[in-house]
A and B are shown apart, each in its own frame.
Chain A
Amino acid sequence: MQKKILIGLALLLVIPGLLFTVSCAKKTVQSEASVSEMPKTEAAVKSEAVKREAATATADAEAAARARAAELERQRKIEEERLKAQQLREAQLEEERLQAELAKKKTEADKNVFLKELVLFDFDSSVLTPTAQDILGRKAEWLKANPRASVIIEGHCDERGTIEYNLALGWRRAEAAKAFLVDLGISSARMTTISYGKERPFVKGSYEFAWSQNRRAHFVLE
């Protein structure tokens, strides 16, 4: 406790002293002038010195308080700005994260659409219908947006007809889809084809809807 008081006093003396030596050049000049007014009586000199000292001490204390307040104010401002900046940064990060998440969701959704949207064909046909061409157009966009993706295009048929003819027909369907994508600028090196004929129906059952869904080109990522 005493130590702290001592340190406080010392600081009270040292800090203003420093302040005066650094920033109050004029005063120093004045005091020099008054020194030059000598000679005066020892006592007078002494009491004057004591008076001056006391005045200086009061002034020093005031200055120190001001400085402290200024310093506190400054630090408060810095802290305030730091907080503001941090909040801003956090908001930005959150925004970015949301954007990224959205983008990821969209990528995922796009990928799902790409994989799930079937290119359908008519019975005993490997000719691309206008709808099939639209879907393939979208697939081409996805493939362009995902230049590192390679795909397997599976050709499939409905359950009617012979196994061997359907294997060949499924192959023609997969090849028709591939050729269309090549025409749209997708490298044929990114696409392989395989036919499963009627061996892997998408919808089980012996009715027209099932058949229509099974006559398809199906995209799978490699």
Chain B
Amino acid sequence: MNRNQKITCAGIACAVLLLIWPAQGGAAYDYINISNPFLKKIPIAIPAFKAFSDSSAEKNAATSAADILSQTLEYTGYFRIIDRAAFLSDPRRPPLDVPDIVFRNWTGIGAEMLITGGIALGNHAAEMELRLFDTVNAKLIVGKRYKGSDKDQRRMLQRFAGDVIFALTGDQGVFNSKIAFVSNGSGNKEIYVCDFDGHNPRQVTHTKNITLSPAWSSDGKWMAYTDFSSGNSDLYIMHLEEKRGAIVSEKGLNISPGWIPSQFALAATLSFEGDPEIYMLTGSGKIIKRLTKSWGIDVSPSWSPDGKKMTFVSNRSGSPQIYIMDLYTERTERLTFEGSYNTSPKWSPKGDRIAYTGLKNGQFNVYVITIDGQSLVQLTRDSGDNEAPSWSPDGNLIVFSSMREGTSRIYVMTAYGTDQRRLLTLPGEQTTPSWSPRMMND
């Protein structure tokens, strides 16, 4: 399965061709307002793709591919997908390129952007030609052709979506990332991984015991987690594909891993010295040094993107609050002062904010606070308990768990709290989602 995926991925990577080329550089970034991209969504039209032959399979694929691309782009929270019923152009003759496109017809229905596509299906093969236009300026922004197995259509569309987002924001987006979480659907808490949009969930651990706190290494190849199978809470550090790794099994707690960006090293809470403290470990499980030195609980380390600062939870003040430690000066400052139960901090990939879970009026909700503590925003409210936020690698989305349907499930929202929706539906309860970094070889 894994091997197959690798081979097909490589296939796509080789087959990507740049088409006609105008604007690929940094000039296009002002399409999306970086300070709050979700305030005003970009209205975009994505008509059904053009089938290059008359085969019914190809015609069906032409429509379903346009639908998948619509869903994928809508998932980012940047776009408002315009209903095809509003289109002025003839649905039987989908436009593909400039001479056929009447930009007035698209600006006329409010579309500021247009994506056209063509698809050809061969013997177990698929080829797609996709273009993004700025309708206001009548200009091609991205044009790409993809070739691969017919099973890779979703992947090709995700890749194009990534190119679209890169052209508009200068960032790769989330399309080559995954989400790990814990589910008890099998009767035990085990770790699962799915695609960024909830597709393709699969069980990763089979401990038939308690498995908790999945944490991705910054290259996405390793996962650290807590595993009770030995009868103690041990920390496993596992290479996801090669199924090898290390076990940290000190006396007492071995929990709460948080990888350091760009390093094969992580922080975790161990209690072998008599108190739950945060230690820095190598990726092979060797203790490098103790980071916290305060009586009481210290857990849930999360690192600034430059790896110089660590945010974590401590109850040194009498209740769990969020702190930031500077690794070099070893100075620690308290970040949260509102409420008496603030936990599970996650440093944003952009570096400026920290998302966390706070308890207020008997309910847990997701909050985001700037690292100077000056600006605090509550992202979830009035929808049961909402907990355990984790940032998407581009920092634009947050995945979290919520009890809003009575049972704990995984949800996604924009970093501003808008567009909250369920990620996936599985048997049992799903908790503690963890968004991966970008997968480099995917």
Contact = CB atoms under 8 A, between A and B. Distances in A.
Interface of A: 124, 160-165, 167-169, 171-172, 175, 193-196, 199
Interface stretch (B28-36, B226-234, B347-355): B226-234
B186 to A, nearest CB: 15
Nearest to B301: A164
Contacts of B364: 160-161
Instruction: With a 10 A CB-CB cut-off, give which of A124, A168, A171, A175 has the most chain B CB atoms.
Output: A168
B341 A194 contact: no
Given A162-B357, A195-B253, A167 B233 contact: yes
Given A168-B255, A171-B252, A163 B320 contact: no
Interface of B: 189, 210, 212-213, 226, 228, 231-233, 252-253, 255-256, 269, 271, 274, 276, 297-300, 313, 315, 319-320, 340-341, 343-344, 357, 359, 364, 387-388, 431-432
Given A162-B344, A171-B253, 19 more contacts: A124-B320, A124-B340, A162-B300, A162-B343, A163-B388, A163-B432, A164-B212, A165-B299, A165-B315, A165-B320, A165-B344, A167-B212, A167-B255, A169-B297, A175-B274, A194-B231, A196-B210, A199-B210, A199-B212
A168 B254 CA distance: 10
Nearest to B252: A171
Instruction: With a 10 A CB-CB cut-off, give which of A160, A171, A175, A196 has the most chain B CB atoms.
Output: A171
A165 B343 contact: yes
Given A168-B297, A199-B189, A124 B276 contact: no
Nearest to B320: A165
Contacts of A162: 300, 313, 343-344, 357, 387-388
21 contacts: A124-B319, A161-B341, A161-B343, A161-B364, A162-B313, A162-B343, A162-B344, A164-B213, A165-B300, A165-B344, A167-B212, A167-B226, A167-B233, A168-B255, A168-B269, A168-B276, A168-B297, A168-B298, A171-B252, A172-B276, A199-B228
Given A163-B212, A163-B431, A168-B253, A124 B299 contact: no
Contacts of A194: 231-233
A90 B256 CA distance: 65
Given A171-B253, A194-B233, A199-B210, A165 B313 contact: yes
Contact of A164 (B299, B315, B319): B299
Nearest to A165: B343
Given A124-B320, A193-B252, A194-B232, A164 B210 contact: no
Contacts of B300: 162, 164-165
A136 B162 CA distance: 60
B256 A167 contact: yes
A160 B341 CA distance: 10
Instruction: With a 10 A CB-CB cut-off, give which of A160, A167, A196 has the most chain B CB atoms.
Output: A167
Chain B's interface: helix, strand, loop or mixed, by majority? Answer: strand
A199 B211 CA distance: 10
Contacts of A164: 212-213, 255-256, 269, 299-300, 313, 343-344
Nearest to B231: A194
A172 B255 CA distance: 14
A168 B255 CA distance: 9
Given A160-B364, A164-B300, A195 B388 contact: no
Contacts of B431: 163
Contact of A163 (B213, B252, B276, B340): B213
Nearest to A193: B252
A211 to B, nearest CB: 12
A124 B315 CA distance: 10
Contacts of B320: 124, 161, 165
A88 to B, nearest CB: 54
Contacts of A196: 210, 228
A169 B275 CA distance: 11
A173 to B, nearest CB: 11
Contacts of B315: 124, 165
A176 to B, nearest CB: 12
A171 B271 CA distance: 9
Nearest to B274: A175
Nearest to A200: B210
B315 to A, nearest CB: 8
B299 A167 contact: yes
A161 B431 CA distance: 12
Contacts of A199: 189, 210, 212, 228
A163 B340 CA distance: 17
A124 B364 CA distance: 15
A194 B432 CA distance: 22
Nearest to A159: B385
A10 B251 CA distance: 94
Contacts of B212: 163-164, 167, 199
Contacts of A195: 233, 253
Nearest to A194: B232
Nearest to A126: B297
Nearest to B344: A162
B142 to A, nearest CB: 41
